[in-house]
Structure 1
């Protein structure tokens, strides 16, 4: 599908394509003023960023740069990719400073950048795991070394800083790294790829931000080289590295979920900038197939603990769901790029589902403990993680303060800090609102006309979204509000003296819409029962409950008399709204004796469920906040 060409102003956004149907409204033009996401941005700024900095200082990951700068020997702390966590934290700091400047954070950012930059080698190479005295040679372990992966995250941090504050020491450091990587891996260099993609989207964005086309050329080389077996798959296999099938020949995402999603995001970027419609079509097909067959109700991706990978089609176990938080971030990255290219609401729908049910689930309400994996069922009481020691990534069934592999906390920090950039877009016709939060938006349409809006809503617990036009073009224009797929056919729009149509997943309000105009979208938030595709073995014969974008879960603590494994739901059970964010569901309890043989003949007189009670359901993102618990999203039918 051809992408429309447009003249695009640079935006304070992680993704600013030169072509596409929609132009992102940057984070600097959108202020989330209250509600669900403003609360999380405040916690991220006040707690999470400093929490990450404290842990990485404590464990010596930041000191690795000091040792490298001093020319020290092979001693080093943390995993081979620990540098990337410092870079993701710098990206979070850059977005946060662009969102709400803070002098203390600025000083912490400057000090951290200085320590990182001091470790850079004269030829631009920057890394603390390879190349120093007594360490392995540079690029001697492309499968597991993560050198280009780390470089990619450094570049993404630099792009965030460039777009929010301009060139500084971090940007200069990243440019030297990018030039070094081009010399090493460009057309005349090593014909190889890194075991973990992410440098691909990073290089494209650097090319967009600087105008230097060599970076785009290199990103295209990395995407085209992938899938030809240049890496050693060993026992884990080439699919783990997304190196078994070329990107343009694949029809579904597979292998390591985060790797696959980051690579797909980079492939979209390359396709957009290169005008490669074949490549774009391939990734679009991969998204469609993956969402239809390999995605959890929460939006989570990656069903296998082995290899942190996608499973086969409809292999979506609840209790063994991996659904890594970082895969949720990767899914948002990919869907946002496809949304900008196509203006299809299905991409914004998945972003919303993933943000509310994976990204928001990762951190606790305090912002200092995190999930690495996000199962949809916990059959035994969770185990508290030791708050003073890093946890194994999947060992704790409660949120942990830190992990030996701590990619998720810093990924959450940078995503929440930049969240304003995922709210709205513009095109020649007007402005599109994709995500709902109380906000002030002030931006320009591609023709230069100013537009400003105030959004008032209690979403996701209240379905009314009221938009007031504060400043408008003198001509007729269109305000488009996404109507989520679960609300189609039931959403209503009120707008005076304007024409309203609901099509393609958007309510489009067109007309003069002068300053003072008010448009109100009403979405139904009645609790609804969701049934799974019968091809998903793990959830056949079960139901789940949703309300708006939120997936709900049943949770019981140690002293709760209700045993979740005994809960059965009648086929006609009607969930009812409790207080603002809870739902009650009438259920029966199976009274079969614990010591009875659990199998029998179909015509045997089996014990029927009895003991009617009401089960309280909470938003899935809130589970495990009250201490060790059992939890289920999918509940079996009676």
Structure 2
């Protein structure tokens, strides 16, 4: 039986820093990084995200080893290590990554120094020893090829995922080293990276293979390994892999980012997760090398993606077939793919672009994706998952099960998403704040503590808020140099149309606030105890899509603050949701429901259920049809946050609501 939250101590999530005060997280800039911002430090106090991380720490992460055991992932490592007998378990060549992502997640959690982490660290040590035993003497490690393929290597770069697996192993090794200071897993990662560096290289390098992996991932991992070790050839190797995409090495397909070189691309395309991992690596390279062309490509492609290929939830991927972005403005509802891993990759890329450019728009997308497209991927109890995140489940939906189910699942045959969610939640504090030589920037609002180094001096600010349910964020300066001024920058979200801020004796609103690139910048000589109160007005709103989005023309979505809302059948007895129409002439109301879904604020709207006469054997009519009009039944519509859907009973759901 899984352990319940009530039976365990509640972890206190401390700020993750190493002994030198450097933030511990997935991105640690190199000494020569050309970036506008540096990752800051944050700690979460009890509140919205603290609760989600608590469930991750006390339920999801502890269950990981058992699930990896039952799925055969750990058995495969024992086969490769020669300590077990039997058949290989699993249908894919990348099942090792489920282990590596769990190890990364466990490492970020261990870095929190929370109560109860001793058992987690012991489990991580056990699995790290198993990974090290499975590695071959020359550094190669992939159980699929070692066991199923008789030791053949790099014969199927398009589908084999050997470098993709290596990337996740490297990221786990870096995370474990940052969290513990120990090198057992980092040594495994370096041996594999050294092996790859001895095999792959451009024509004329004297290396046997000029090639890339069909699933980008190793590129951003190699940049981080360079940052961790100072070994520049890892950065060079990452640059080589990024540069060789788009030159036909895998057949020239958009699916695996091989149709056009990244620097020439004008829009994101192909497999969404693969594209986004590659772009995260490009942002890392631009940060470390200062290459303007790579930065320009990242800005151009991010802008095209958000303008034409991003769902209102922040979800990405229109096609189930090939997990593909689809065409511009092709944003379906019930067939939306919006893989949970794509949401995670989007956050990773946007964070790197935020650090590189200093622009708040990247944090805007992170917020939208975190609260909606990402968080929907895990159940409120932390035990069940969504691989795909549709925006509508129709009445009478027939679910085929499997990895692409519209119902929450305990685990998947392709279990890439659950440990990916675990590692993002375990490192969430890394994405909340940043610093530069002029001040501290708060990207995401949580009840907690933000700190960093400003021009060599420590600064820290505490925050009290019930965001996203309420829009008041109270900030108190706790540590500051008093001899010179610095700037506290607060992100004003893209969705916010009305706000107020009080800073000492000065008040601002949206008409006269000192805004710059989405930041409210407050510069002064601060003193401990100084207070700032930011009030973001959270009135519910109706959102419509660009008219080129055919799937939702004539529809609206309900939003409040950073949250996208949806209807669920369970809240609307007497019928389904396919016949629901919202009345946009009636005001929206807000009702907090502490008894519902762990405590949520619902939005109540007026609407109708249209009882449409049966069309007979043919579901089409002429535009001039004189059939009797549908009978309307007045209905109160209860909308819940999208992240909380599919946590009660199976049934229909929809985000976009017809207006007629």
For the aligned pair, the TM-score class normalised by the smaller chain equals over 0.9
1:260 equivalent among 259, 270, 275: 275
Superposed CA deviations along residues 142-190 of structure 1, whole A, max 9, x for unmatched, are: 1111110000001111121222222320111111111111111134321
What aligned pairs does 1:73-88 form with structure 2 within 5 A after superposition? 75-78=87-90, 79-88=92-101
Pairwise CA distance, 1:491? 1.1
1:462 aligned to 2:498?
no
Match in the other structure for 1:591: 611
Match in the other structure for 2:45: 33
Distance 1:99 1:602, change over 3 A: farther
Match in the other structure for 1:564: 577
Q: What SS class does the counterpart of residue 585 from structure 1 fall into?
A: strand
2:653 equivalent among 625, 628, 631: 631
Give the Cα–Cα distance (whole angstroms) in 1 for the partners of residues 144 and 527 of structure 2: 58
Contact kept, 8 Å, 2:176 with 2:182, in 1: the verdict is yes
Distance 1:559 1:344, change over 3 A: closer
Give the Cα–Cα distance (whole angstroms) in 1 for the partners of residues 56 and 214 of structure 2: 30
Contact kept, 8 Å, 1:431 with 1:479, in 2: the verdict is yes
Q: What SS class does the counterpart of residue 588 from structure 1 fall into?
A: strand
What aligned pairs does 1:301-340 form with structure 2 within 5 A after superposition? 301-340=316-355
1:226 aligned to 2:245?
yes
Give the Cα–Cα distance (whole angstroms) in 1 for the partners of residues 148 and 321 of structure 2: 35
Superposed CA deviations along residues 171-230 of structure 1, whole A, max 9, x for unmatched, are: 111111111111111343211001100000000111112111000000000001111111
Q: What SS class does the counterpart of residue 377 from structure 2 fall into?
A: coil
Match in the other structure for 2:536: 523
Q: What SS class does the counterpart of residue 589 from structure 1 fall into?
A: strand
Match in the other structure for 1:249: 264
Match in the other structure for 1:393: 403
Give the Cα–Cα distance (whole angstroms) in 1 for the partners of residues 86 and 248 of structure 2: 31
Match in the other structure for 1:215: 234
Bigger mean CA deviation after superposition, 501-510 or 111-120? 501-510
Match in the other structure for 2:420: 411
Contact kept, 8 Å, 1:382 with 1:628, in 2: the verdict is no
Match in the other structure for 1:434: 443
2:433 equivalent among 398, 416, 424: 424
TM, length-normalised to structure 2 = 0.90
Superposed CA deviations along residues 273-304 of structure 1, whole A, max 9, x for unmatched, are: 12211111012101100110001000000000
Give the Cα–Cα distance (whole angstroms) in 2 for the partners of residues 9 and 214 of structure 1: 27
2:193 equivalent among 161, 164, 178: 178
Match in the other structure for 1:548: 561
Question: Unaligned regions of 5+ residues in structure 2, if any?
Answer: 1-19, 508-512, 594-600
Give me the CA root mean square deviation: 2.0
Distance 1:19 1:11, change over 3 A: farther
Count of aligned positions: 616
Give the Cα–Cα distance (whole angstroms) in 2 for the partners of residues 559 and 585 of structure 1: 12
Q: What SS class does the counterpart of residue 103 from structure 1 fall into?
A: helix
Give the Cα–Cα distance (whole angstroms) in 1 for the partners of residues 551 and 410 of structure 2: 31
Q: What SS class does the counterpart of residue 34 from structure 2 fall into?
A: coil
Match in the other structure for 2:597: none
1:607 aligned to 2:629?
yes
Contact kept, 8 Å, 1:498 with 1:513, in 2: the verdict is no
Give the Cα–Cα distance (whole angstroms) in 2 for the partners of residues 516 and 181 of structure 1: 53
Pairwise CA distance, 1:470? 0.8
Match in the other structure for 2:223: 204
Distance 1:602 1:493, change over 3 A: farther
Bigger mean CA deviation after superposition, 212-221 or 449-458? 449-458
1:105 aligned to 2:115?
no
Match in the other structure for 1:4: none
Superposed CA deviations along residues 487-525 of structure 1, whole A, max 9, x for unmatched, are: 14x111111056962332111111112110111111011
Give the Cα–Cα distance (whole angstroms) in 1 for the partners of residues 249 and 257 of structure 2: 11
Contact kept, 8 Å, 1:424 with 1:434, in 2: the verdict is yes
Give the Cα–Cα distance (whole angstroms) in 2 for the partners of residues 53 and 254 of structure 1: 35
1:51 aligned to 2:63?
yes
